[in-house]
Chains A and B, each alone.
Chain A
Amino acid sequence: DQQVKQNSPSLSVQEGRISILNCDYTNSMFDYFLWYKKYPAEGPTFLISISSIKDKNEDGRFTVFLNKSAKHLSLHIVPSQPGDSAVYFCAASEIDTDKLIFGTGTRLQVFP
């Protein structure tokens, strides 16, 4: 059973517009959430995170929103740039464990 789900395998957005990537989870014990970005032939790199005590975390063009009641989080990229084209993984964990559960990823393409 997939505990972390990214239901959109791909997303295409025009440069300058907002990209919204979504993630749903089922385990109510998750209390820390992360987004990773992955380019081809490279390992995933950390992008942004949020703990369950917050509902929003912002870092430059990237904002993550957490809706605990809906068990849903989203990543907003504004404005989107061609260099943002990559696969984005959502991940969740319980604090102080090394167990990160990843979603299946969403491939974002930003076109000019």
Chain B
Amino acid sequence: EAQVTQNPRYLITVTGKKLTVTCSQNMNHEYMSWYRQDPGLGLRQIYYSMNVEVTDKGDVPEGYKVSRKEKRNFPLILESPSPNQTSLYFCASRARMDTQYFGPGTRLTVL
């Protein structure tokens, strides 16, 4: 089954404790992205990657890092999480000139 998977689905952590949210897709897509969804703000792109070892900032990259060492994986790293990063996070992937497929989401709470 074609899908985008994210782990963990739910995470509660404390300020400053480094964390990684994993994202994996099995569709051999070149493009992958991370978004955050906040009330009243919709979905905002954090980072995206057009291929292995190629990443670029989206609209709200501050406080986040990503890497794309393999085509299928695109982890989101929060080196020092802060409460304003409490949000619902979605990973997405797509083939060139195709629509995006989203993962199920990761709900992160930073205390």
Contacts and interface: CB of A to CB of B under 8 A. Distances in A.
Interface of A: 4, 6, 34, 36, 41-46, 49, 89, 91, 95-96, 98-105
B102 A45 contact: yes
Contact of A99 (B43, B45, B102): B45
A96 to B, nearest CB: 7
B105 A96 contact: no
B31 A98 contact: yes
Contacts of A49: 99
A1 to B, nearest CB: 11
Interface of B: 4, 31, 33, 35, 40-45, 48, 50, 58-59, 90, 92, 94, 96-97, 99-105
Contacts, number: 52
Contacts of B43: 44, 89, 91, 100, 102
The SS class assigned to the B binding surface is strand
The SS class assigned to the A binding surface is loop
Contacts of A89: 42-43
